[in-house]
A and B are shown apart, each in its own frame.
Chain A
């Protein structure tokens, strides 16, 4: 498996179940994002730096150009021989800004008379018409880029005695701009190299910091990995608890685990209970068969023994069925009541239950009296309701003296449907009342045993009623019979 892990830049590939799954790595994504944003930032910074540097250098260059222009303008003198004749004192020409590459200059007096032009002044250069006092432009002369400055209307500095200064000069001076470009390129190079180094350092730092800040996640993963059916406690490590982003995850995991633990415990308890309660019926069946085999018997005896075993089986089956029904009802009561329930008539389910128990009642000469106060409908599964009423009626019949009447009535009360089952049996002592809904609780001894009850009926009824959001209440006094009242909300 691990040999399949090839480190691609953005994803870790591994082969699982024959399918190639590509897993993205948050860490890698974050590092890539950081590096890209830093790169953008660096490029932006370089741009700005180059722009500013170039502007600064140009400005300085222009100042130097102006100085040159002024200094050559100062070399224009009046001739001593010819009055008002201007000439250029070429001996004093300043050295070029860049050694080896001569500057270009031209001085024109009063827009008419060319006073001087540098020897390398190109034949074809169009400085164009006058464009104000001061003008600046860039030219390429003989393959070398020049920056030119033109100053107009500069008075001749030289004074000829008391003559009025009426002559004006137009000075054009150009120097190669290469040194400036060179300097800008140098700056660009230095900044770019520096940025690259810083980028590498900060990328490395980001990698390290991310690793470090993802450590709580790894720790949380480790503690989540320690969860098992014998250990439901999530022990979130301190670093995970102290991490803002992990707190909701930790919380969600804890509550999920609690829910799972509850339901797991419930299931396990049910299983333990079921196993425990099955022991007695299994012991009965086993003892029936073993005692049958203890000595040779006649075929009639074998037949009788097998019939007994079948009876035992039937009881076992009934118990199993009841336990499953109870488990399901309790699961619903715990909040998992499913279903798209359609409204059913409560009175009708009562009548069905009465019909079902009529035979048992007749056996004991017991009359079942039923009154319904109008149709009451509520959303429910009719089978569930019928089972609840059957269980209540069965108890009422079982504990009623022969020839008595069991009363069952349905009425509505404040948006609730109310079903009562009343018997005239011996009643339930106050000390027993809280226990009658306990699983496997049996009120009386031999009678309950003979009818095959396992003490699950009332537990099932209670769980079912609660699953529908209702209540079931026993009212009883010893010697005065028992009244069971079931209240079910009509609207859920």
Chain B
């Protein structure tokens, strides 16, 4: 999953980014002002946007309205210092999906972010189940037939992304776009390394879980 944080306080943005990377294994990009944030949101397929309202150059509410009028349906979680009813109503009407009031609890922010991403993908439970595999997005643990499986961070990212859209064909490009932030060099063949790692840890001779559709991409299905 790939998240965009638009927040002008660099330290706050960095703390949220670190938390999302460490505790949710998300790829995170940061924009420090509104114009950059809007451009990045429009040019990359993010799975979630975390948006501050008080931003230089372009304020958060205007950014949100422009983003929505451009047809983007990325889930948006707003960070606000105000918690008056009117401004919350205005926010939600402008297309925000959820909000947290500053000073927020990082754990709560994380939980809301995960919930928004799940809902954005049509899921509602925090534990995703495909065949005999259980993926707990809350603590990033994976079980196969009830037994804990140890995955690398990138393997988990790939599995989680596929598991959010079971039965759908996910192209390699899509995976690259959603699993890496700007700071990573993207090599398309690396994806195949993670896929083979996942197959080795989760599949046996009887069950095939990750299917390769030549020229189209991958699909997770029982």
Contact = CB atoms under 8 A, between A and B. Distances in A.
Interface of A: 276-277, 279-280, 282-288, 290-291, 294-295, 308, 311-312, 442, 444-446, 449-450
Interface of B: 8-12, 15-16, 18-19, 22-23, 32-33, 54, 56-57, 79, 81-82, 101-107
Contacts of A308: 11
B40 to A, nearest CB: 14
Contact of B10 (A277, A290, A450): A450
Given A283-B103, A290-B106, A295 B56 contact: no
16 contacts: A276-B81, A280-B54, A280-B102, A283-B104, A284-B9, A286-B105, A287-B16, A287-B19, A288-B15, A290-B105, A291-B19, A294-B23, A308-B11, A444-B56, A445-B57, A449-B8
A284 B106 contact: no
Nearest to A287: B15
B22 A295 contact: yes
Contacts of A276: 81-82
A445 B56 contact: yes
Contacts of B18: 291
Chain A interface mostly helix, strand, loop or mixed?
Answer: helix
B217 to A, nearest CB: 33
B11 A279 contact: no
Most chain A CB inside 10 Å of its own CB: which residue of B10, B11, B82:
B11
Contact of B106 (A282, A287, A446, A450): A287
A284 B12 contact: yes
Contacts of B9: 280, 284, 449
A283 B102 contact: yes
A445 B8 contact: yes
Given A445-B32, A449-B10, A449-B32, A286 B81 contact: no
B23 A279 contact: no
B102 A279 contact: yes
Contacts of B16: 287
Given A445-B57, A446-B33, A291 B106 contact: yes
B107 to A, nearest CB: 7
A80 B11 CA distance: 155
Contacts of A445: 8, 32-33, 56-57
Contacts of B57: 445
A294 B22 contact: yes
A291 B15 contact: yes
B102 A312 contact: no
Contacts of B15: 284, 287-288, 290-291
A280 B15 CA distance: 13
Contacts of B79: 283
A132 to B, nearest CB: 110
Contacts of A286: 103-106
Given A276-B81, A287-B15, A446-B8, 17 more contacts: A276-B82, A279-B81, A280-B12, A283-B12, A284-B15, A285-B103, A286-B103, A287-B16, A287-B19, A287-B103, A290-B15, A291-B18, A295-B22, A311-B11, A442-B56, A445-B56, A446-B32
A92 to B, nearest CB: 121
Contact of B107 (A285, A288, A290): A290
A311 B18 CA distance: 18
Nearest to B16: A287
B11 A295 contact: no
A280 B81 CA distance: 7
A285 B16 CA distance: 12
Nearest to A311: B11
A100 B81 CA distance: 115
A283 B33 CA distance: 18
Contacts of B12: 280, 283-284, 287
Nearest to A275: B81
B103 A279 contact: yes
B82 A282 contact: no
Contacts of B23: 294-295
Nearest to A297: B22
Contacts of B10: 446, 449-450
Nearest to A285: B103
A282 B19 contact: no
Nearest to A286: B103
A287 to B, nearest CB: 4
Contacts of B105: 286, 290
A276 B11 CA distance: 18
Contacts of A277: 81
A311 B14 CA distance: 14
A290 B10 CA distance: 16
Most chain B CB inside 10 Å of its own CB: which residue of A283, A285, A291, A444:
A283
Contacts of A450: 10
Given A291-B15, A291-B18, A449-B32, A282 B107 contact: no
Nearest to B80: A279
